[in-house]
Amino acid sequence: MEDGPLPETAAEDASEAEAVVEAEVQAEPALEAAPAFVMEDGPLPEAAAEDTSKAEALVDANVLLGASEPEPAPLPEPEPEPAPAVPAAKPRIVLPAVVGKTVALNAQQAQQQAQQAQQAPPVPVAPVPAPRVVVDYRLPPAELLEAAADQTEQVSEERLRETRELIEQRLSEFKVPVAVVGASAGPVITRFEVEPAMGVRGAQVVGLMKDLARALGVTSIRVVETIPGKTCMGLELPNARRQMIRLSEIVRASSFQSHSSRLVLAMGKDITGHPVVTDLARAPHLLVAGTTGSGKSVAVNAMILSMLYKATPEDVRLIMIDPKMLELSVYEGIPHLLAPVVTDMKQAAHALNWCVGEMEKRYRLMSALGVRNLAGYNQKIRAAEAAEQKVPNPFSLTPDAPEPLSTLPLIVVVIDELADLMMVAGKKIEELIARLAQKARAAGIHLILATQRPSVDVITGLIKANIPTRVAFQVSSKIDSRTILDQMGAESLLGQGDMLFLPPGTGYPQRVHGAFVADDEVHRVVEHWKQFGEPDYDEAILAGDAAEAGASDLFGDGGSDGEADPLYDEAAAFVLNTRRASISAVQRQLRIGYNRAARLIEQMEAAGLVSQMGRNGARDVLAPGPGD
């Protein structure tokens, strides 16, 4: 066949096969440069060019399924050369339809993956502000609290007239003539306004109160020597049947509902039955004291529930310190908490240290922004957010790209038993409380301190001077009443929530009957807030990182090795320079506790720097000084 001419059909097929081969050769560089799909007459796709076996498999599959176009005429048997042209011709007919679909599908999938990749980065970033922006906090409804019973018993006019005449008669028997000019009955007590006769001193009436109480058959009588705005005295007698005041009555009152502050506290009702509320932000701190069973813990619970009824976790955060591990542990898990309820006194000191550091940080931020308090700071941040702007952090660790500032919540520190905390670390705790009471108001940090031991070693003069707003429940003596209020009167209270409330800026205490709140009511309000998610705790509060160096000195366990103390070298240099081996001198110079200074001196004795203590308690410095 080599020497003879080819048949016409074979010659045509051979020429077509050569054209296809030439097209494939020309298509190889084009496939590398542009692997896009080309129609039948153009270059083959890249997949077909790289893997011929796959193309043949696709061709065979297509043949099995049935091709729409007829195959070329077969070559004669004696001429085998044109046979390889048949598979070369088949891709020209079949491959573009099969491989083209595959390439189109791959391109479509790649495009979808690219779009997903472009949309992927925002996905992990979106949930970051979710706890503050997405969560829709709802304040608890008043229906969670028990409704007050309908027990509004009014003291009859006849009963008031009889008591008025009896007071005048009994005092005249003691040769103290008075005139009862008015009476006002309340839910717990009734106040009689008494005007002494000419020449009768008020002290004479005060001195006869025990005799008058015995004559009238009542447990106690409280004398109000001066009623603001009036020229008479007041005698407060307990009613025969006292009414129970529920927290729901105060929460539903217009004075509570219309109050704009997030730190409004429901105190109770006054002697005439009107609701009494106070703003902790204006107080700005509160001292609560009373003996066991006087209603102190119930009042603290009512104050906490008042804030939970007015503020969301975005507005107010709480730090609770409960040495008794019973009163405040019920609030564990609400989103308002900045840290778990603190029951360890060492962690309580760390929490107060953290509050001092947070106060200083907020003061630096407010000073840099030119505002005077936390309300002005938050207002400036919200104004910038409304204008779609951001206020950069002036103290950012990355000054080139500072992070934007956000609003800061108010912080309320509730200490249920101050006496236990003062017994563990009295001096240091007193200093921390005094610092917070002096400066923390503008930074939005407020204190509620409660104690059942109102003695001078717990409620010190430094604490009293910086906390003018105080609440005194029933106490056992006039001395305790003076310790709390700087005046007598709390020893004559009735107990069970009966209190004397000293508002800020006034020297006249107001008698208030505290609102009662049951444990079931507290649990219902707590469960309402728990449904909005877990609390966002700040681990640094209880870790004590800000005051780790001084924590050991605070609790007197600074270690046994004095030379391991970081202040040992400084203490030794001070002793060698001054030639005075005095514990008190080292204590004053380094501003440390007595136990730590004593350990430093003892270690100097072990090292041979100072002598043993003599009979008079003095020590000699044995080591030579710097100039010797």
306 annotated to a ligand binding site: no
Neighbouring residues of 88: CB distance < 8 A, sequence distance ≥ 6: 17, 20, 21
Q: CA angle 468-469-473, nearest 5°?
A: 125
Neighbouring residues of 47: CB distance < 8 A, sequence distance ≥ 6: 54, 55, 99, 102, 103
Instruction: Give alpha helix (H) positions in 559-622.
Output: 568-578, 583-590, 594-607
CA neighbor of 393 nearest in space, from 429, 420, 362: 362
293 annotated to a ligand binding site: yes
Query: In the Cβ-directed half-sphere of 220, how many Cα atoms lie within 13 Å?
Result: 13
614 annotated to a ligand binding site: no
What residues does 202 pair with on adjacent strands? none
514 annotated to a ligand binding site: no
Measure the CA–CA gap between 176 and 615, rounded to whole angstroms.
66
What residues does 451 pair with on adjacent strands? 289
8 Å CB contact between 268 and 497: yes
Measure the CA–CA gap between 216 and 197, rounded to whole angstroms.
21
Summarize the chain as % helix, strand, coil (round to 5).
45, 15, 40
Phi, psi (deg, nearest 5) at residue 619 = -125, 150
Measure the CA–CA gap between 187 and 244, rounded to whole angstroms.
8
627 annotated to a ligand binding site: no
220 annotated to a ligand binding site: no
Measure the CA–CA gap between 542 and 32, rounded to whole angstroms.
65
Instruction: Give alpha helix (H) positions in 387-518.
Output: 418-439, 461-466, 478-485
DSSP 8-class letter at 225: S
Token pair 């193309």: residue: 55
Cα 111 from chain centre: 47
Dihedral sign from CA coordinates of 421, 427, 432, 437? positive
What residues does 512 pair with on adjacent strands? 270, 499
Measure the CA–CA gap between 532 and 74, rounded to whole angstroms.
80
Q: What is the CA radius of gyration of the chain?
A: 44
Residue 599, CA distances (Å) to 117, 135, 391, 579, 623 in order: 64, 54, 50, 18, 18
Measure the CA–CA gap between 17 and 441, rounded to whole angstroms.
94
Provide DSSP, 354-379: HHHHHHHHHHHHHHHHT-SSHHHHHH
Structure tokens, 429: 């705790």
Phi, psi (deg, nearest 5) at residue 316 = -135, 135
Q: Which residues are annotated as a binding site?
A: 290-297
Q: Which residues are annotated as a binding site for ATP?
A: 290-297
